[in-house]
Amino acid sequence: MTLDELIEEGNTFEVKRTEPNMYYQNGFNVIEKPVSYIENGDKYLLWIENCKRFLVTNYPDDIAYENFEKASADSPASNADIYKLVAILKSLKSIPTACIRKDKETTSSDKLVLNISQSQNINIDVVLRTLKEEIGKSGIQSLKDVQGKSEEEKKQNIISKLKSFGENTLSNIIANILTNPSVWSQL
C-alpha cells in the first residue's frame, strides 16, 4: 500500500447525518436527535489502522504518526475530521523529509543517563535537606571546614565531627534519609 493509495481511499469516506425525527408514541412526543455516521464504518476503521501501520513503518520518528493518532482517536463528527486525517497524509507526500518528534531527538542512552542523574540529584537533595534541618547552617559550615591530609583522614574527621553533634542528631539524620520515600523505594 502506498501513500497515494491511502490518500485516495481516505477521500472516499464521508460523514453522513440522519435527519431529526419527531413522532407521537404511547401518549408521548418522541424526538430523535440526528446521528452522525460513516456508511462503510468497517472500511473506515481498517483504513485508519492501515494508515497507522504505514506511518509507523515508513515514518517511525515523524510527528505525523502522533498527529494522526490524536486526530483519529474519536469517531469523526464531520467531514472536517476526515479531511484532517487525509491532510496529515498529504503533508508527508508534499514534504517527505522526516519531522522528528521532540522526545525522539535524544537517544535512549541520553535518557538513561538523565534518569540516573535525576534519581541521584533527588537523593542528594534529601541528604542535604536532612543535614540542614538537623545540624543547621553553623553545623554544615563546621563540616565544610573539616580538613585532612588524605581523603581517608578527611572522611574519618567528618565522621568524628558528625558524632560530636550527638547520638540523637546522628540517628535522626540517618532515619530521615532512610525513611524518605525517594530513598526508601530504592533500598
Span 35-46, pLDDT tens digits? 888 888 899 999
Nearest residue to 129 (alpha-carbon basis) of 173, 184, 181: 173
pLDDT of 9 > 70? The answer is: yes
pLDDT of 64 > 80? The answer is: yes
pLDDT of 88 > 90? The answer is: yes
Q: Over the chain, what is the mean pLDDT? A: 82
pLDDT one-digit tens code per residue, 120-148: 555 677 777 787 888 888 888 888 888 88
pLDDT of 151 > 50? The answer is: yes
Highest mean pLDDT among 70-84, 96-110, 134-148, 164-178: 70-84
pLDDT on residue 120 = 52
Give dist(CA 90, CA 83) in Å, integer: 10
- Give CA 30 to chain center in angstroms: 46
pLDDT one-digit tens code per residue, 154-163: 888 888 888 8
The model's confidence at residue 11, banded by pLDDT at 50, 70 and 90, is: very high
pLDDT on residue 81 = 92
Residue 169 makes CB contacts below 8 A (sequence gap 6+) with 134, 135
pTM over the 0.85 mark: no
pLDDT of 114 > 80? The answer is: no
Angle, in degrees to the nearest 10, between helices 63-71 and 79-94: 170
Lowest-confidence range among 61-75, 95-109, 134-148? 95-109
